[in-house]
Amino acid sequence: MAYNYPTAEGIKFAMEQGWSKEQAERGFEIFDFDGLGIYEIEAIGDCYPDSDYDDEAAAREAERIGYCKIIPAEEIPETFILNDYPRNYYGWVDTPENRKKIKENSDYYAKQEESK
């Protein structure tokens, strides 16, 4: 799916909500997933007040424009579970630290499943 940059109205609304002009114009940001120190790209919902937004399209655009590298979804283990949901999707920022935390989480979850 193609990424849709925010409209002028969406940019204005996001800035009113406290986002910087740069963030609002981009329409996505790197977020720390639930404060766990595992980072992903997400669309900024405030930039799209009257429409849906697509986190995966935002991640693809972030990588396309060189904002950051994204770990390919096929490299995310199936055992990468956070808050009881599989999180092996495209959008995780590709850094050594992020890969390490994803692996640690996946290994922990796999061990939990083995012990059941």
C-beta atoms surrounding 19 within 10 Å? 20
- What's the CA gap between 2 and 22, in Å, rounded? 20
DSSP code of residue 42:
E
- What's the CA gap between 27 and 49, in Å, rounded? 12
HSE-CB for 97 with a 13 A CA cutoff: 6
Residue 65 scores a pLDDT above 90: yes
- Please tell me the pTM assigned to this model: 0.89
Tens of pLDDT, residue by residue over 49-62, are: 888 889 999 999 99
pLDDT of 64 reads 96
DSSP code of residue 79:
T
Residue 73 identity (one-letter amino acid) = A
